[in-house]
């Protein structure tokens, strides 16, 4: 039996298929090559390949899922690869593929790769171990290698899907079989277009598959979002983690009194440049019944002096000298005297109506444990970042939140709800994902509602705390929070 079947879709005349074939032929493994002519024009190109060791099939497909299934049906190999255009195989290290599949229960293998720019510059792209990630944006590179036996066992790819066919298959497989990473480059990608993105804008996006990384879902078409959400919803139902119960109300006794309506908690570390503006925007707003707690984790740049210079008695500096953001937030929440907790990053801004709008909404929606608004993105000078528009997170619901990376900003909580869930998890999500973990927990009991207004301005600059965090921390903390939530939700459904 052949080891590898490489399937090459022929999409456009001029596609460099010969280079792809030659790269496959350089492998020291038993392989076959199947070419599907996917071009719409009825051009007979079989003669161009008659002297090459390939199987040429003049047949196009309605979508990638149909192409994958057709190729798998024709394949004689134990392992199947659909090779996109501009991808060439690197012959070294392919013995690791066979060795990896030899391990029990391996269904999918992916690897590091190299990119070749138009100028000829070559860079190696390192990917991360999979760790049973359940969102579609975790980067598995430009192609995957599939076990044909396991593909057939799961009836291949769903041909009703036009965008999420590989994601759907992975979700159907990954709880029973392994998705394995090879930390060596098995192929190279010839980049067609040159150009560099704005460095600040590029740092907006969390790591992940797609041009905009982990935030790519914010730019999906409605059809794409519906399809990915449908696939994910089916997955949650299969494993018993889909929530459809009625949520609870947040109730208060007559004896609960508060010194003010809102406590705004600002964790801070070395933000002298922005903190005066951040606080002043709150003070200049239309709502007065608040306090601001600036929780400093050991600034050395004069931040504390900047806060002390603000004469408004509603502004309080807490010298925390802590080790993580979650700890600073928890310190502020514990000392807060307000009914509601409003989170504010030290370099961001509220709008004039933020607090008034949020308080009015919470007072009239008793099932809402957390309210979130739209936000826009601003640069270091508070100017809107062009090309981004208003970030609405309309894809949010309490099930889909397990797939997407967040629910948005501003985040406005009942203090008693935060206390009920034990505040932020300092141990596991101290410096990233603490807010995501809390949104997941709240959504399991209370409503998380959206105010359809821009009430927050999220500043992007090269010194953003989020920018400085290690990329792997972002990926794995979010994934760990999802895995924790799956366990809670399965248990919750068993007890309903």
Q: Are strands 122-125 and 55-57 parallel, antiparallel or unpaired?
A: unpaired
In CATH terms, the fold of domain 260-495 is Spore Coat Polysaccharide Biosynthesis Protein SpsA; Chain A (3.90.550)
**What's the rounded Cα separation, in Å, for the pair 163 and 158?**
11
Q: Is 239 helix (H, G, I), strand (E, B) or coil?
A: helix
Cβ atoms < 10 Å from Cβ of 362: 23
Of the CATH numbers 3.40.50.300, 3.30.360.10, 3.90.550.10, 3.90.950.20, which one belongs to the domain with range 4-195?
3.90.550.10
Q: Please indicate whether residue 50 or residue 373 has the higher confidence score (pLDDT).
A: 373
pLDDT tens digits for 153-181? 999 999 999 999 999 999 999 999 999 99
State the Cα–Cα distance between residues 89 and 189, nearest whole angstrom.
Answer: 9
Asked if the domains 4-195 and 260-495 are classified in one and the same CATH topology, the answer is yes
Residue 237 contacts by C-beta under 8 Å, 6 or more apart in sequence? none
Find the radius of gyration of the CA atoms of the chain. Answer: 26
Reported as a pLDDT band with limits 50, 70 and 90, residue 213 is low
Which residues are CB-neighbours of 254 under 8 A, at least 6 positions away?
A: none
Higher pLDDT, 495 or 168: 168
Residue 209 and residue 207: Cα distance in Å, rounded? 7
Q: What is the rounded distance in angstroms from the CA atom of residue 133 to the CA atom of residue 137?
A: 9
Mean pLDDT value across residues 49-78: 89
Token digits of residue 317: 């500096």
Please report the beta strands in 3-105, taking only residues with DSSP state E, as ranges in sequence order.
4-10, 31-37, 55-57, 79-82, 87-89
C-beta atoms surrounding 24 within 10 Å: 22
- Distance between CA 275 and CA 307 in Å, rounded? 7
pLDDT at 48: 60
Q: Per DSSP, what are the bridge partners of residue 341?
A: 263, 413
Domain locations along the chain: 4-195, 260-495
Predicted TM-score (pTM) of the model is 0.90
**Confidence check: pLDDT of 203 > 90:** no
Mean pLDDT of 37-54: 68
Do 426 and 330 touch, CB atoms closer than 8 A?
A: yes
Chain centroid to CA 84: how far? Answer: 24
pLDDT tens-digit series, residues 93-152: 999 999 999 987 999 999 999 999 888 899 999 999 999 999 998 999 999 999 999 999
Q: Are 55 and 35 in contact (CB under 8 A)?
A: yes
User: In 10 A of CB 148, how many CB atoms?
Assistant: 19
DSSP string, 324-356: SHHHHHHHHHHH--EEEEEE--TT-EE-TTHHH
Q: Facing residues of 351 across strands?
A: none
Nearest CA among 66, 98, 89, 86 for reference residue 6: 89
Contacts for 244 with CB less than 8 Å, ≥ 6 apart: none
Q: How far apart are CA 35 and CA 18, in angstroms?
A: 11
Using alpha carbons, list the distances in angstroms from residue 436 to 297, 420, 432, 474, 484.
21, 16, 9, 11, 12
In this predicted model, what pLDDT tens digit does every residue of 409-435 receive, in sequence order?
899 999 999 999 999 999 999 999 999
pLDDT classification of 338: cutoffs 50, 70, 90: very high
**Distance, CA of 412 to CA of 450 (rounded, Å):** 11
User: CB-hemisphere CA count at 13 Å for 200?
Assistant: 16
pLDDT in tens, 72-95: 999 999 999 999 999 999 999 999
pLDDT at 463: 63
Locus of tokens 């310190």? 331
**Quick one: tokens of 316?**
């309080």
* Cβ proximity of 430 and 450 under 8 Å: no
- Half-sphere exposure at residue 496, Cβ-oriented, CA atoms within 13 angstroms: 16
Q: According to DSSP H, which parts of 240-298 are helical?
A: 272-283
Asked whether the beta carbons of 56 and 142 are under 8 A apart, the reply is no
Alpha-carbon torsion (309, 311, 313, 315), positive or negative? negative
In the chain, what is the straight-line distance between the N-terminal and C-terminal CA atoms, in Å? 51
pLDDT, position 204: 45
For 339, the token pair is: 């009914």
């Amino acid at each position: 039996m052949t080891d590898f079947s490489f399937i090459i879709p022929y999409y456009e005349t001029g596609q460099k298929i010969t280079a792809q074939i030659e790269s496959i032929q350089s492998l020291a493994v038993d392989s076959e090559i199947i070419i599907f002519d996917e071009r719409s024009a009825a051009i007979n190109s079989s003669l161009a390949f008659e002297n090459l060791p390939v199987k040429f099939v003049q047949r196009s497909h309605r979508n990638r899922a149909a192409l994958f299934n057709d190729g798998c049906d024709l394949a004689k190999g134990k392992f199947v690869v659909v090779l996109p255009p501009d991808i060439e195989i690197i012959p070294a290290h392919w013995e690791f593929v066979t060795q990896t599949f030899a391990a029990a229960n391996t269904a999918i293998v992916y690897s590091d790769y190299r990119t070749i720019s138009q100028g000829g510059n070559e860079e190696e792209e390192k990917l991360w171990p999979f760790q049973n990630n359940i969102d579609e944006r975790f980067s598995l590179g430009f192609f995957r290698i599939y076990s044909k036996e396991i593909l057939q066992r799961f009836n291949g790819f769903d041909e009703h899907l036009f965008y999420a066919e590989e994601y759907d298959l992975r979700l159907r497989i990954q709880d029973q079989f392994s998705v394995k990473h090879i930390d060596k480059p098995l192929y190279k990608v010839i980049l067609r277009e040159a150009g560099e993105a704005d460095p600040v804008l590029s740092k907006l996006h969390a790591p992940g598959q797609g041009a905009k990384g982990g935030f790519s879902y914010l730019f999906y078409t409605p059809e794409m979002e519906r399809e990915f959400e449908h696939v994910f919803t089916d997955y949650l139902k299969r494993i018993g983690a889909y929530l459809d119960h009625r949520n609870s109300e947040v109730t208060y006794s007559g004896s609960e009194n508060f010194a003010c309506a809102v406590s705004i908690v600002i964790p801070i570390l070395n933000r002298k440049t922005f903190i005066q503006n951040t606080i002043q925007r709150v003070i200049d707003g239309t709502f007065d019944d608040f306090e601001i707690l600036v929780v400093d984790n050991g600034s050395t740049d004069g931040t504390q002096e900047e806060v002390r210079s603000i004469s408004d008695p509603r502004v309080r500096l807490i010298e925390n000298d802590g080790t993580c953001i979650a700890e600073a937030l928890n310190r502020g929440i514990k000392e807060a005297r307000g009914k509601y907790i409003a989170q504010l990053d030290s370099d961001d801004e509220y709008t004039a109506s933020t607090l008034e709008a949020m308080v009015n909404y919470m007072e009239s929606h008793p099932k809402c444990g957390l309210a979130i608004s739209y936000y826009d993105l601003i640069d270091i000078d508070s100017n809107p970042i062009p090309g981004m528009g208003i970030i609405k997170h309309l894809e949010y619901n309490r099930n889909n939140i397990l797939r997407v990376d967040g629910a948005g900003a501003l985040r406005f909580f009942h203090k008693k709800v935060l206390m009920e869930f034990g505040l932020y998890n300092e141990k596991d999500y101290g410096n990233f994902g603490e807010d995501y973990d809390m949104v997941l927990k709240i959504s399991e009991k209370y409503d998380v509602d959206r105010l359809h207004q821009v009430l927050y301005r999220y500043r992007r600059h090269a010194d953003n705390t989020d920018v400085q965090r290690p990329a792997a921390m972002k990926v794995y903390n979010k994934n760990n929070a999802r895995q924790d939530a799956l366990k809670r939700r399965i248990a919750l459904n068993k007890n309903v």
